[in-house]
Each structure stands twice: as structure tokens, then as C-alpha cells.
Chains A and B, each alone.
Chain A
Amino acid sequence: MTEPYATIAEPAFRAVPARRPELLERILSDPRMRRHAQGLLSCVQCGICTSGCPAARFGDYSPREISRRARDGDPTLLEDDSVWLCFYCYTCQSRCPQGNSVAVINQIIRGLQVESGYGLRHVAMFTAWNEQFYATGLGGWPHQLLGDIADIWGERWWHLVEHLDELRERLGVGSLFPSEEAMGELRTILDATGSRERLQAPAS
């Protein structure tokens, strides 16, 4: 009879995941993580973030995994496409018993992906927003973004688009746009913070 305690299993964690302390450091030192840095460091992988997450429920995405990989400083996050499935609803953050925020971690990771050039394809369709904002000081959804949606929203919505100015006048809500002076200040701020250059592919 074999002694059951005479065999020892192979260590499951022999291959330590690649870590990049500088990525973890980058995330922890980001001003958006001010309230959440300790939360990331003390993540216990309980999964409450994932249980309430709409992207985990209807898509191939796990905030718990993102948290684990962020804690590990896993550099593959910088070329991970699943972070782009987050809805930014902050359910993970509001329910996390440790005070972590995967929604914020995703914002940081996506920003790093955009700045490295990897993430530019994920934001290509939204650069029109940036241009509209620079030109008019107004956000909203640029019409070129709407594409198929405009067809689905149908005649009633097109009626609104075509008669928006008249409706606004009837309602007495004034101009859609900020003053010229405000626009000048806004453009200076956007230029000074490199808002448009950020979306150009980096020179290789």
C-alpha cells in the first residue's frame, strides 16, 4: 500500500508571472487612483467587482482579472483588448470592499495604450469628438459617429436634428455654444495639454 503522504505535487506557481513594477507604480501614482491605490494593493480577489459588472455578464471581460494583473504589474495589459469592454459604470468601484477601482485602472491602461499607439485603433471612431470639441467647445455626439444608429433612430430623430435650433429658441435656452472668448481660452488649454497631438500615431 502506497503511503499517501509520500508524494508531493509539483508546485503550481513555479512560473512566476512576468512583472513590471514600473507599471504597477505608474497605476498607483496616477492622481485618479488617489482614493484607490491602497485598494488595489489590498485586493483579495473576492470577485464582487465581477459579479456586478455588465461587461462580465454580457461580454468576455473580467474586472477581477484586470485587478490581479494590475497588481502584478503584468505588461501584457498594455496590449490587452478586453479593457476596452469596460462600460465605465463604476459598479466595481462602488461595491469593492477594499476601495479598489478597476474602472479607473482601465482608464489609465487605455490612456497608456493610446499614448503608445497600440490603442489608437480602439479610439479611431471617436477622434471626431475631439475635433468637434476643439472647433465648437461643444461635446455631444458628432453626427458622423452615429452612422447606423441614425437609421435606427429614424425620422423622429432626424426631425430633431434638423429643427434643433427652432426647438431651442421655443424653449428659450439660448445659444448652443460658449462665448468666443471662452472658445479662445479652451483652445489654448487644449493646445497646451497636447490634446490633439495625443491622437497622432507616434513616430516609430
Chain B
Amino acid sequence: MAPTTTPHIAPITSGVELFRSCLVSTQYPGVEAATRWLFEQLDVEYEVNPAQTCCTGLGYYTDVVSFPTTVAVAARNACVAVEAGHPVQAYLCSTCYAINKKAHEALEDPEQRRRTNRVLGRVGRRYDHKVAGAVEHRHVLEILWSRHPSIRGLVRRRLAGIKVATHPACHYCKVFPDEVLGDSEDLMLPEDLLQPTGVTSTGYYPEKATHCGAGFRQRFVNPAMSMAVTREKLRRLAEQRVDVCVHMCPNCHVQFDRFHDVISQTAAEDYPFVHLHVQQLLALALGADPDTVCGVEAHSQDLEPFLERIGARE
């Protein structure tokens, strides 16, 4: 078994706010359910806070929401997380992760903080040094990784013989590349998390860091360019003869899962593998139900042959 390369971090076992993601909620709610299930298996105390609103990410990156609005919304969300005693904001979506961190960075500037607090004052809130010092921004995979020594003993379905590739999410790897757990050009965090399940990892492969092709507006406005990028990645994954490509961002997941068969037919190319979120595959390996925990019916691809192969359809 190959040694893992992802840096170890101290266990995060409490104070976690599972930050709801608009794309997970509306496209793949099973990703949230699988994450909750894993948190319970790994004894991570968490809450979902109804006071939390969407991060504005899709609006900001389609250029209809300004940066000052985004910063104010992020500051408010940080305030409610700290107030609720769950200051570790755990992101299901890499864009939520990046945008909240970017806002946090902007709020280090006294002038930005002053302007933002003028807005927050209208709702009776204040982003002060206590909030700034308490709030922590984590991708959900980082929380799971902090508990990874417990995973081996919980595996119920071994994934021996299953070859896994990571599609590293750009907004996790490239916005704050120095703060990534591991190498931003060759992220191993998803594969290392799955290692105790017996999977075979591709590790690095050509164009591993190439992005999904969604590009926010580009999927809608420039579909030919968007599809060209996605096809390139699908071809590279097919060359690796993977069984499953794992994702850590719902926008990437939409792009690959929903367009996989469309591109395969248009390009007359075979890409014989499926797409799952890291949390879904890990939960399946730990014995979770594909329907009531992983919500596989929301996927566009037919996952049944894969689920049968790993023994999740007895």
C-alpha cells in the first residue's frame, strides 16, 4: 500500500458548522447527506445553521454580485457561525471555501472592515477581532482528513481493484495554493482519504490540474469552449483507465456528471468510468446506503453497474 503524502493535521472533532452549498443542495443533496453521515461515523460534532445564507459565489463569479456585497455576506455568515459556537466553517463546495477565505483576507484591512461593519450595523452585527480570530475556513475533506486514522477500522465494503483519480477543484487548489493540504498541482487529499478502503490511486496524471470547463458563465455563454476543456479532461482520465473520478466541488461534479454522456456521444469517444463526490465514495466504502445516504438518483450517469461491482447493490 502506497504511503500517503497529505500532511497530518490535528483532529477537528467539534465546533463545526457544515456550510450549506447551493449547488449541493439543489443538484446533489446526497453529497451533504453523505458528509453528515461520515461526520457521525467519525465523531465530528457539527451543526447546520439555518441563519447561514448562500455565499454569493455563483453570483460573484458571473459578475452580477459586487465584491463589497460578497464580503458583507461572508462577514455576516462568519458572525452567525461564531455566535452559534460553531466557528469552523466546513465547506462542501470549493467556491464557498475560496470566496469566504478571500473575504476573510479582505477584512484584515481596517478600511474594508470599517466599511463592512457600517453595513453589518444595519442588521445589528459586527465583524470584530473576536469573530476574525475565532472563525476558521475548512474544506469538508480537511475535516475528514483530520479524522483519517479512524477510517480503516470502519471500512465495510473494500474497494480493492477500483482505480480512482482525483479531479482537484481549482477553487480549493489555486486561489490559496500555499494553504492547500498537500501539493496544489498534484492534490492527493481525496486519494489519501480513500486509501484505507483499498482503492488504487492514479496519483499524478497528465493535466491533473486542468479544470473542469464550467467556468461559471462559460458553460452557458461559450458552450463549445466549455465542452472542449471538459472533453480534454475526460480523455486524460480515460487514458488512465480509471473506474471512478472523485470530486470535491459540486460545480465540477455538475460539469462532469451531467455532460459525460453528452460529450461521449458528440465526440464518439468512450469514457468508461463514473463520477462521484469523495464523500459519497468514502461513505459507500464505510457501508452507507447508495439511495438514502448518497442520493445517487440525482446523478445523470447510470451508477448501477459501478454500485453492483462494489457490492452496494446486494
CA distance A129 to B300 in the complex (A): 23
The 7 nearest A-B residue pairs measured at CB: A87-B215, A139-B22, A94-B174, A90-B174, A171-B33, A140-B26, A126-B62
Which of B138-146, B234-242, B291-299 is the contact stretch?
B291-299
1/0 contact trace for A140-153 toward B, CB 8 Å?
11000100010011
Question: Is B56 a contact of A133 with CB atoms below 8 Å?
Answer: yes
Question: Is A129 a contact of B211 with CB atoms below 8 Å?
Answer: no
Q: Give the B interface residue count (CB, 8 A).
A: 78
1/0 contact trace for B47-82 toward A, CB 8 Å?
010111111111101111111110111001000100
CA distance A172 to B293 in the complex (A): 9
Question: Is A189 a contact of B59 with CB atoms below 8 Å?
Answer: no
Residue of B nearest to A199 (CB): B64
Q: Which of A127, A171, A194 has the most CB of B within 10 A?
A: A171
CB distance from B176 to the nearest CB of A (A): 9
Which of A62-70, A72-80, A179-187 is the contact stretch?
A179-187
Residue of B nearest to A159 (CB): B297
| Extra A-B contacts (11), CB below 8 Å, given A94-B174, A173-B33 | A88-B216, A91-B209, A138-B22, A139-B58, A160-B27, A167-B295, A182-B53, A185-B76, A189-B123, A192-B72, A192-B119
Chain B residue numbers with a CB within 8 Å of A175 are 50
Q: Which of B27, B63, B109, B222 has the most CB of A within 10 A?
A: B63
CA distance A34 to B74 in the complex (A): 18
The secondary structure that dominates the B interface is helix
1/0 contact trace for A165-204 toward B, CB 8 Å?
0011011111110110111111011101111001100000
The secondary structure that dominates the A interface is helix
Question: Is A93 a contact of B175 with CB atoms below 8 Å?
Answer: yes
CB distance from B181 to the nearest CB of A (A): 15
Q: Which of A91, A94, A111, A172 has the most CB of B within 10 A?
A: A94
CA distance A174 to B32 in the complex (A): 11
Query: Knowing A171-B32, A172-B33, A193-B66 touch, does A181 contact B51 (C-beta < 8 A)?
Result: yes
Question: Is A94 a contact of B26 with CB atoms below 8 Å?
Answer: no
Question: Is B225 a contact of A58 with CB atoms below 8 Å?
Answer: yes
Residue of B nearest to A129 (CB): B59
CB distance from B52 to the nearest CB of A (A): 6
B202: Cβ under 8 A from any A Cβ: no
CB distance from A177 to the nearest CB of B (A): 8
A125: Cβ under 8 A from any B Cβ: yes
Question: Is A189 a contact of B225 with CB atoms below 8 Å?
Answer: no
CA distance A176 to B172 in the complex (A): 24
B278-314 interface (Cβ within 8 A of A): 291-293, 295, 297-298, 300
CA distance A120 to B109 in the complex (A): 30
CA distance A59 to B218 in the complex (A): 11
Q: Which of B67, B171, B174 has the most CB of A within 10 A?
A: B174
Question: Is A111 a contact of B109 with CB atoms below 8 Å?
Answer: no
Question: Is B217 a contact of A84 with CB atoms below 8 Å?
Answer: yes
B122: Cβ under 8 A from any A Cβ: yes
